[in-house]
């Protein structure tokens, strides 16, 4: 048996970074992983500019400003305009984002100004040189790397990239993941319920998890429950996709054909991982493509996809950060039964007053899919451990797993 950490380390060591990249417009780059560093050719902001609507002044005039002297407004500078050098002893009307004119170094906001016949006077409560001015290169200096290869692009990243004038980026092509399900006991939703049959939930769990992470899903549907059909499906999956993922059929003694079929067209390692849910996990190769066999139980399939397949796929996809960072929070439950396996329990956070605590779904049975629907994340009960209310536990939010 492998510990959870051993299994994850081995799995990640097998993940080979994709080499397929493409150049895409920034309007198609959301959720894509950078295959290049983004370096700025510009200073941001490109010039000293005003943070406010107000008046550009010279700090040398501080004394007269505070004394309430009336200043001539020698020019008016809107965003996008380049003003004239400021005439000594005058001020310029200026708007947010507009470049500061030469000779001006500070901005007084319009709320502290009164325009009167012949000019403007100020009633400042305090005045400091450089106030309300953003300086050239303050946000980004020319030549700086603003985003690194391996970063997954979010909305604010697109904003940053466009703010330095870049319209296209080199990203990795999204991995394609082929899935199929086998099992004569499976019904598709919409089919009539029958004694001894169960609905094929795993197919639709994968159909949600895979695209949400930005991968392309090729769902080959349900395959007849014979060795020959399974081999055909595996070969087809490997020929169209970068990775093949199935659920079920990999336990010792299983009636299913996945295991012998994979062994005919590639190879398979069956791992017993000291974790719960999700003990049996298979890793192998089908016609040169990585194969991951998740457990057949839906809760186990969901958990092991997030805990194993996700980091494996993110690494192949070129993403820098593949492991989840735990949140350490107080348990609002007791866990008295020590187990030799690491238990990933379905949990929810509750914030009350100034405290955030972790609650558990009452039925942690690995057949109980409602637990993952109630839950917003997984909390960890370490191996050979009990938990008392108030102890710190590691928590992983589902929203972090799907991002």
Hey, which residues between 322 and 381 contact a copy of itself (CB under 8 A)? 325-329, 349, 351, 354-356, 363, 365-370, 372-373
Task: Write out the two tokens for 94.
Answer: 């200026």
Under rule CB under 8 A, which residues in 280-309 are in contact with a copy of itself?
Answer: 296-298, 302
CA dihedral 66→67→68→70, nearest 10 degrees, is -110
Q: Which residue, 11 or 206, has its beta carbon nearer to a copy of itself?
A: 206
Residue 26 CB, nearest distance to a copy of itself (Å)? 6
Q: Which residue, 173 or 202, has its beta carbon nearer to a copy of itself?
A: 202
Cα(197)–Cα(214) distance, integer angstroms? 33
Alpha helices in 266-397 (DSSP H): 298-304, 310-316, 370-374
Q: Which residue, 265 or 387, has its beta carbon nearer to a copy of itself?
A: 387
Residues 6+ apart with CB under 8 A from 50: 56, 94, 95, 96, 97, 98, 100, 107, 132, 133, 134
Q: Is 258 in the site for a copy of itself (CB under 8 A)?
A: no
Cα(202)–Cα(171) distance, integer angstroms? 30
x-marked contacts with a copy of itself along 75-104 as a string, rule CB under 8 A: ---xxxxx------------xxxxx-----
Q: Is 154 in the site for a copy of itself (CB under 8 A)?
A: yes
Rounded alpha-carbon distances, angstroms, from residue 392 to 53, 331, 376, 377, 397: 49, 6, 18, 15, 16
Size of the site for a copy of itself (CB under 8 A): 106
Residues composing the chain: 403
Show the 3-state SS of 9-52.
Answer: HHHHHHCCCCCCEEEEEHHHCCCCEECCCEECCCCECCCCEECC
Task: Write out the two tokens for 100.
Answer: 């500061």
Q: Is 270 in the site for a copy of itself (CB under 8 A)?
A: no
Within 13 A of 314's CA, how many CA atoms are on the CB side?
24
x-marked contacts with a copy of itself along 9-48 as a string, rule CB under 8 A: -----------------xx--xx----------x-xxxx-
Q: Which residue, 265 or 314, has its beta carbon nearer to a copy of itself?
A: 314
Under rule CB under 8 A, which residues in 194-233 are in contact with a copy of itself?
Answer: 195-209, 211-212
Q: Which residue, 238 or 332, has its beta carbon nearer to a copy of itself?
A: 332
Q: Candidates 7, 58, 104, 161: give the one binding a copy of itself (CB under 8 A).
A: 161
Residue 237 CB, nearest distance to a copy of itself (Å)? 18
């Amino acid at each position: 048996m492998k510990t959870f950490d051993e299994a994850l380390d081995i799995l990640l060591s097998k993940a080979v970074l994709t080499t397929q990249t493409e150049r895409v417009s920034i309007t198609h780059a959301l959720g894509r992983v950078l295959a290049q560093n983004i370096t700025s050719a510009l200073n941001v902001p490109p010039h000293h500019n005003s943070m406010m609507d107000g008046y550009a002044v010279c700090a040398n005039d501080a004394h007269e400003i505070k004394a309430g002297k009336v200043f001539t407004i020698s020019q008016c500078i809107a965003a996008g305009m380049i003003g004239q050098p400021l005439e000594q002893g005058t001020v310029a009307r200026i708007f947010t984002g507009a470049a500061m004119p030469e000779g001006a170094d500070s901005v007084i906001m319009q709320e502290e100004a009164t325009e009167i016949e012949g000019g403007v006077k100020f009633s400042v409560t305090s005045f400091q040189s450089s106030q309300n001015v953003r300086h050239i290169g303050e946000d980004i200096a020319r030549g700086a790397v603003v985003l690194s290869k391996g970063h997954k692009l979010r909305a604010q990243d697109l904003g940053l990239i466009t703010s330095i004038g870049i319209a296209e980026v080199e990203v990795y092509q999204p991995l394609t993941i082929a899935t199929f399900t086998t099992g004569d006991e499976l019904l598709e939703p919409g089919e009539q319920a029958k004694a001894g049959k169960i609905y094929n939930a795993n197919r639709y769990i994968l159909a949600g998890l895979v695209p949400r992470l930005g991968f392309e899903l090729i769902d080959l549907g349900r395959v007849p429950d014979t060795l020959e059909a399974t081999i055909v499906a595996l070969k087809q999956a490997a020929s169209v996709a970068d990775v093949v993922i199935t659920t079920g059929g990999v336990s010792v003694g299983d009636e299913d054909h996945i295991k012998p079929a994979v062994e005919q067209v590639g190879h398979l390692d069956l791992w017993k991982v000291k974790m719960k849910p999700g003990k049996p996990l298979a890793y192998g190769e089908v016609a040169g493509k990585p194969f991951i066999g998740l457990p057949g139980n839906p809760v186990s399939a969901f958990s092991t996809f997030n805990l194993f397949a996700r980091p494996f796929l993110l690494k192949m996809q070129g993403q820098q950060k593949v492991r989840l960072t735990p949140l350490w929070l107080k348990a609002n439950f007791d866990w008295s039964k020590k187990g030799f396996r690491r238990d990933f329990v379905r949990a929810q956070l509750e914030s009350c007053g100034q405290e955030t605590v972790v609650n558990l779904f009452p039925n942690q049975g690995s057949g109980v899919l409602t637990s993952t629907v109630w839950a917003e994340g997984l909390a960890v009960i370490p191996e050979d451990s009990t938990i008392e209310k108030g102890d710190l536990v590691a928590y992983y939010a589902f929203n972090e797993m799907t991002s």
